[in-house]
Structure 1
Amino acid sequence: MQLFARIGLVLLLGSIAAGQGIRGRGGITMPPAPEAKVLPVTDDYFDTKVVDNYRWLEDANGADTKAFIDDENTYTARYFEQARIKPQFADDLDQLEHVTSWTVPMQRGNDLFFEKTLAGEGQASIFVRHGWAEKEKRLIDPAQFSRDPNTSVELADVSRDGTQVAYVVREGGADETTVHVFNVKTGKTLFDVLPSADYLSVLFTPDGSGLYYSRRGPKGSLLYEHKLGTLVGRDTLIFGKEFRGEALGPGDLILPSLTDDYHYLVVEVDRGVPARRVDIVYRDVTKPNTYFDVLIWGVDSRFTAEYVKGAWYVKTDYKAPNGCILKAYPAVMPDAWDKVIPEGPDAIEDFNIVGGKIYVDRLHDVKTETTVYTLEGKPAGSVEYEGIGAATTMAGRSTDRYGFFSFESFVTPPTIYRLDTVTGMRKIFAQTKVPFDTSQYELKQVFYQSKDGTKVPMFIAGKKGLKQDGSERLLMTGYGGFDVSELPEWNAVVAAWMEEGGWFALPNLRGGGEYGEHWHEQGIFEKKQNVFDDWFAAAEYLIAKKYTSPEHFAIMGRSNGGLLMGAAITERPDLFSAVECGYPLLDMLRYQKFEEGPLWTTEYGSSDHEKQVAYLLKYSPYQNVKAGTNYPAVFFFTGASDTRVDPMHARKMTALLQADSSSGRPILLHYSLAGGHAAGVSVDQEIQDGTDQLTFLWTETGQVPVHK
């Protein structure tokens, strides 16, 4: 029987560290961090005992936890009161964030519906444009719901005839929203309100008389139909709990959609996040009292379907890790389906059928390439992009002549284009105007070798002519998980960092989807260490090439990227000087017991299984903090509205690092009431948060210089 933590040593070294003053850079001096009480709790994981000194901080509503949060926020505020660079970053972000921006529009006939944030306003409103050349009209303003600037609205769906808009109202960064319906003709919101819940999808019924919606709860997700003008309590459950004798559980997500001809209601059942298996059923909604039929069920692969001209087109990784597109036949195994677009060397990211053509997005060395095909699979051209960047999948329906997409990069703000699917000509629909001279910056891609010899790509951006002598600051971010491909997208925080003269880097770590399912599988379960090794190899490459040095090296990551930051802190504290760790997972032995954690066992595994405990224990950041270690400066960032990753991770890790680090570097916690995983906080709040993050990272990677 093993004992993983030695309580006496932790208490001894922790008390020594707690008595020291804290030395921030840039002339910042701090008293010792607030002391959190130590109340050891011992867990037994299949004969391995693990001690948790801060289990009490898991209770978000406890009086002691609330006092801890107040003390930490006060302590953190004291740091930023002394930071000299803060006004400069606040000014940078004020100019970069207070701009007019758009989302890709949703088409209904000649009407275009979209979200738009006007320069000077704190939140996006929902607008409509009746025709290409017509003026825009604001339909829904979040200010009408609340004086709280962190109340936001998001477009969910538009009825088939364009006369009604379904939208959600979100408070802060919570995943939970309320659902409302707006009548475009009368200019009024209906009395129908779906109460606060975690809605996965909301869409109108074909005739616009009601809504289909799926919502997630503790026991799983359920699909309902709501008739407008009736009580929500009378809504009809139309799918969930079980199907043909197979129970659906908490890890199964129900995602409804309607075919472009409004003939079928399609239900996709994702098994876990990311899904290792996707089932698809459909129901004819043009006839009463119909049942769901199976398109595909019980096959351990992923499927996404489009229905056009009486045929099902399905993207799948069935016997094709990089993806292929097949013409499917209901209730028949995929081996008997017709191959439309075969698997190739580059992974298919997504596809859509617009204007009777198939638009397929692939990643070639993490650069978007879009090829156009006929419905028979014959090549019919491509969509060209300007340099390295990130493009969205072509938006539109199979019957629409025009499709819409956006393109952006680290050094290029977003532009939304309208593409004529007949002529191939494009026009600018909307362009975000930012006071950022793109001509002064460069974006390039390099490749480096990881620990096991794997070739890994990385994007590097910065001002042209920036020195490579090891003296410049560099900010690196990453994710490496959930089959997510990290593309070079515009980010105001990154732009502000580069404006001040710092390099920026993004390595494309294993665990993502940049090279298909194989790349993803190389960074999950017991292979998660590959992700961290890719990260450390990226840092060593940047240092060897003299982009920066450890004392000027800053790193930043959120959510699963926050887990990456935790591993960087505990495994290689020598490589980095400053860490921003946002909304993180850090206690990997207990993550599955909180919020949406049960959904992610298909990615990480779980300490509930004996064979998975060993590798989780080996890398879990919270269990691998060693008292007396010189850890870098760390800024934990979380919020009470995070209902996806429980803030307990950041609370516990803050207390532990403050007690055990011997470096004398600051360990800070920013705990916001409005902040959460979902987008929703106001532009001003984003500026405040971004200012603090940049201020900390810049200050803790060298002396504060005169503004360049």
Structure 2
Amino acid sequence: MRFGRWILTGAASALVMAGAATGGLAWAAETGPAEAPAITAKTDTVFLDEIHGQQAMAWVRAQNSHTTGTLEKDPRYAGFYKKVLAGLQAPDRLAMPSFMNGAIWNFWQDAEHPHGIWRETSRASYLKKTPDWTVRLDVDALAKQDGVNWVFKGANCLAPADEHCLVALSNGGEDAETLREFNTTTGQFVQGGFVFSRSKQTVAWVDENTILLARDWDGKGTTLTPSGYPFVVKTMIRGAAPGQEKELFRGEASDMAVTPMVLTDGDGHQLVMIQRNVTFFETRYAVVENGQLHWLALPAKSEVQGLMKGRLIVSVEEDWHPDGHAPIPAGSLISVNPAAAEQGVEVIFTPGPSQSIDQVGVTKNTVLVSLFDNVRGRAMRFTPTQPGKAWQAERLALPDMTSVHIVDTDRTSDTAYLSVEGYLEPLQLWLLEGKGQPHKVRSAPARFKTDALVTEQFWTHSTDGTRIPYFIVHRKDMKLNGANPTLLTAYGGFQVSYTPLYAPEVGQLWLERGGVYVVANIRGGGEFGPAWHEAGRKSGRQKVYDDFASVGRDLINRKITSPRHLGIRGRSNGGLLSGVEMTQHPDLWNAVIIGVPLLDMEHFETMSAGASWAAEYGSMSVPAEAAFLRSISPVQHLKADVSYPEPFIFTATSDDRVGPVHARRFAARLEALGKPFFYYEDIEGGHSGTVNAPEVAHERALEAVYLSHHLMDAD
């Protein structure tokens, strides 16, 4: 969602950030000869907890040297690297649009602009084969000028003109950001304008001279929660002397975070609000009027999606029983009056048993919803009729067996851009205008051959009998002989859904070479709404791991593959999934890729932003939850007498969200037990794991070599 006017870089752009011009050696200039202690069962590895410590970095560089020195020697590596890099820097990639200031804006990175450029064109020009772009901000030039490895993290702009913006800049990709005022009309940073130094911080414009800001106010962390996020919001007035800012709201230190937000609709209504995240999933909202806060009577598990006709558009993530209204099921989308949330509630849409809302976008007169129906992408448009009456619903005609996403919506009209993609269908851009149906205006070129490939959706039963769907992409002539090299992936947490995605590196480095690609839609995600997520939360999380293992066994039972040829991959929460599957079912897989992971679940609450995820995983302070966390924590479950598949572990030194210590402890434990592993830690990169196109290509090529060795090559 977007508070006020956040212009984001997009998931695809986030992978391609600033950095080196050649692949694989971004860390080499700093390293020199790697000298690190050999870790044994008697070694005290506490030095690895000091993220940038000299001894820790020596160990990291030694591991990097071993991994790259081994995998880069494979003659396939160079070709893998070139293919991925070419796709990431291809000039014919789609330039994804953002509506702003009456024009279309886009953030773009390529070989010439590794840090990226923020650029503008007219709406008519954007639809031309070659738009006429005007560069407004050159991040490469800024990084060179400042001597800082700036990563563009988006901009928060003052609606409706979108002229005054605060550009968010991160050093090397970390979550902490520096904010600088930028004028989109002049294309210049504002001399003497607002500047807020590095912090995890959130901001919202009230008017051109007034800003609401939440950040680390004293530099000592006293206004940060245990998760590392701010809980004090202050009002900043242009020209006021330092220290004159006025405190607007102070949450509790035990909160996850407190965020200011300003919503503006196409009719000129503005709503200033405070969002207080008590936990990751429980939120309180207040409307700010004349410096006073009026808390809304919304359910704890709800999310404000936007403002239309002066009314809030809200998704409800738990069953709600507002006064004087019929019960509203979890997963519904509603419209409420911000002056009295429980009065005049209008239900916009309630998904059916096989459905789940993915995204919500608001135009001037309509609400757009992208959703899943049995994990297949759909989109609908909803238009209000009369107050208290059912909203008019209309399904938008888009391709099946794909993912449908809302790229951006225009608050001043009923125009929006949607994206469509599938495992074998390159990214497409569809334009929706007025009351019409969407039509395709852009399509990215194919990056790999698909004539011999097919996508299917299968179902299997988990340990408790629950039906679990999964997508499988394979050659049409695949033989059911148990010998097909197969890569299985999933996420299974935070109500995040894994849906069809066109990934050129998967097609080029895996599918074209005879590999089978499988995506499991396990519990913990959002594929079937809040209940699907709730089933895998906290101590119910073993269901997530059982679902995933059940899909693996189903692939084996169908004779698609066998443990010898079956590998798994996951990152972040999915990295935890891979770690658990490696320790719980070491004989089911022959390759395990673990990316930017959580792995020490007995201590995650005290590591980086870990405290914010207690609502998802449980807490060591609760005896029953602590017992479960101990039962699944991968670091503590590595054993000397068990034969494990040799994993590939990757992380980033600058990841200030999960942090690299999880991965380090896991790898160090393997080393102490004398178990083989590959470990790669990007010195920069944040939670994305890698910060620039060459480094992304390098890491993906290393993975491809690793998977080839373990799943494809002859015994």
TM category, shorter: 0.7 to 0.9
Partner of 1:510: 523
Partner of 1:683: 693
Please report how far the alpha carbon of residue 151 of structure 1 lies from its aligned counterpart in structure 2 after TM superposition. 3.3
Partner of 2:713: 703
> 2:311, 2:338 within 8 Å by CA — same for their partners in 1?
no
Q: Does 1:640 align with 2:653?
A: yes
Amino acid at match of 1:92: K
Mapped to 1, the partners of 2:340 and 2:206 lie a distance apart of 28
Partner of 1:402: 415
Q: Does 1:99 align with 2:79?
A: no
Moved more, 171-180 or 573-582: 171-180
Mapped to 1, the partners of 2:644 and 2:253 lie a distance apart of 44
Give the one of 481, 488, 493 matched to 1:481: 493
Residues 581, 356 of structure 1: alpha-carbon distance in 2 compared, 3 angstrom cutoff:
same
SS class of match (1:528):
helix
Partner of 2:396: 383
Residues 202, 531 of structure 1: alpha-carbon distance in 2 compared, 3 angstrom cutoff:
same
Identify unmatched segments of 5+ residues in structure 2: 1-35, 126-130, 320-327
Residues 340, 557 of structure 1: alpha-carbon distance in 2 compared, 3 angstrom cutoff:
closer
TM-score normalised by L of structure 2: 0.84
SS class of match (1:411):
coil
Q: Does 1:339 align with 2:347?
A: yes
Q: Does 1:141 align with 2:138?
A: yes
Partner of 2:565: 552
Identity of aligned residues (%): 25
Mapped to 2, the partners of 1:438 and 1:110 lie a distance apart of 39
1:588-644, CA deviations, whole angstroms, 9 ceiling, x for partnerless residues? 000101111000000111222222221111111111111121110111101110101
SS class of match (1:413):
coil
SS class of match (2:408):
coil
Mapped to 1, the partners of 2:234 and 2:137 lie a distance apart of 25
Amino acid at match of 1:58: D
Residues 649, 59 of structure 1: alpha-carbon distance in 2 compared, 3 angstrom cutoff:
same
SS class of match (2:273):
strand
> 2:116, 2:140 within 8 Å by CA — same for their partners in 1?
no
SS class of match (2:684):
coil
Give the one of 573, 578, 582 matched to 1:569: 582
SS class of match (1:532):
helix
1:359-416, CA deviations, whole angstroms, 9 ceiling, x for partnerless residues? 2232111112222221144334222222222222363244323111212222223222
> 1:253, 1:272 within 8 Å by CA — same for their partners in 2?
no
Amino acid at match of 2:274: V
Please report how far the alpha carbon of residue 344 of structure 1 lies from its aligned counterpart in structure 2 after TM superposition. 3.2
SS class of match (1:701):
helix
Partner of 1:356: 365
Partner of 1:258: 263
Partner of 1:156: 155
> 2:203, 2:260 within 8 Å by CA — same for their partners in 1?
no
Mapped to 2, the partners of 1:558 and 1:78 lie a distance apart of 23
Mapped to 1, the partners of 2:378 and 2:242 lie a distance apart of 45
1:316-350, CA deviations, whole angstroms, 9 ceiling, x for partnerless residues? 13415542233324475748734343453322233
Partner of 2:186: 186
Mapped to 2, the partners of 1:489 and 1:626 lie a distance apart of 36
Please report how far the alpha carbon of residue 296 of structure 1 lies from its aligned counterpart in structure 2 after TM superposition. 2.7
Residues 356, 584 of structure 1: alpha-carbon distance in 2 compared, 3 angstrom cutoff:
same
Mapped to 1, the partners of 2:49 and 2:588 lie a distance apart of 30
Please report how far the alpha carbon of residue 677 of structure 1 lies from its aligned counterpart in structure 2 after TM superposition. 0.4
Mapped to 1, the partners of 2:569 and 2:37 lie a distance apart of 24
Partner of 1:282: 287
Amino acid at match of 2:118: I
Partner of 1:411: 424
Partner of 2:8: none
SS class of match (1:657):
helix
Please report how far the alpha carbon of residue 272 of structure 1 lies from its aligned counterpart in structure 2 after TM superposition. 2.2
> 1:205, 1:212 within 8 Å by CA — same for their partners in 2?
yes
Mapped to 2, the partners of 1:520 and 1:170 lie a distance apart of 32
Partner of 2:76: 85
**1:515-554 matches, cutoff 5 A:** 515-554=528-567
Partner of 1:316: 316
Partner of 2:62: 71
> 1:543, 1:549 within 8 Å by CA — same for their partners in 2?
yes
Give the one of 111, 123, 128 matched to 1:131: 123
Please report how far the alpha carbon of residue 291 of structure 1 lies from its aligned counterpart in structure 2 after TM superposition. 1.9
Mapped to 1, the partners of 2:634 and 2:535 lie a distance apart of 20
Give the one of 601, 604, 612 matched to 1:588: 601
SS class of match (2:296):
strand
Moved more, 322-331 or 382-391: 322-331
Amino acid at match of 1:483: Q
Please report how far the alpha carbon of residue 507 of structure 1 lies from its aligned counterpart in structure 2 after TM superposition. 0.1
Amino acid at match of 2:331: G
Mapped to 2, the partners of 1:469 and 1:202 lie a distance apart of 57
**1:457-468 matches, cutoff 5 A:** 457-468=469-480
Residues 232, 81 of structure 1: alpha-carbon distance in 2 compared, 3 angstrom cutoff:
farther
Amino acid at match of 2:296: L
Residues 658, 248 of structure 1: alpha-carbon distance in 2 compared, 3 angstrom cutoff:
closer
Please report how far the alpha carbon of residue 420 of structure 1 lies from its aligned counterpart in structure 2 after TM superposition. 0.4
> How many residues are treated as equivalent by the alignment?
643
TM-score normalised by L of structure 1: 0.84
Amino acid at match of 1:197: S
> 1:38, 1:54 within 8 Å by CA — same for their partners in 2?
no
Amino acid at match of 1:303: E
Partner of 1:35: 38
Amino acid at match of 2:39: A
SS class of match (2:611):
helix
Give the one of 345, 350, 375 matched to 1:366: 375
Mapped to 1, the partners of 2:166 and 2:300 lie a distance apart of 34
Partner of 1:115: 107
Moved more, 594-603 or 443-452: 443-452
Give the one of 667, 678, 703 matched to 1:693: 703
SS class of match (2:284):
strand
> 1:122, 1:684 within 8 Å by CA — same for their partners in 2?
no
Please report how far the alpha carbon of residue 126 of structure 1 lies from its aligned counterpart in structure 2 after TM superposition. 1.0
Supply the RMSD in Å over aligned alpha carbons.
Answer: 2.7
Mapped to 1, the partners of 2:148 and 2:482 lie a distance apart of 42
Mapped to 1, the partners of 2:98 and 2:557 lie a distance apart of 47
> 1:259, 1:266 within 8 Å by CA — same for their partners in 2?
no
Amino acid at match of 2:455: L
Amino acid at match of 1:658: E
Amino acid at match of 1:604: Y
> 1:115, 1:154 within 8 Å by CA — same for their partners in 2?
no
Q: Does 1:441 align with 2:453?
A: yes
> 1:356, 1:374 within 8 Å by CA — same for their partners in 2?
yes
Amino acid at match of 1:152: V
SS class of match (1:57):
helix
SS class of match (1:677):
helix
Mapped to 1, the partners of 2:700 and 2:691 lie a distance apart of 12
SS class of match (1:504):
strand
Please report how far the alpha carbon of residue 514 of structure 1 lies from its aligned counterpart in structure 2 after TM superposition. 0.8
Mapped to 1, the partners of 2:124 and 2:237 lie a distance apart of 33
Partner of 2:233: 223
Residues 423, 612 of structure 1: alpha-carbon distance in 2 compared, 3 angstrom cutoff:
closer
> 1:296, 1:333 within 8 Å by CA — same for their partners in 2?
yes
Amino acid at match of 2:38: E
1:26-57, CA deviations, whole angstroms, 9 ceiling, x for partnerless residues? xxxxxxx97314458xxxxxxxxxxxx64443
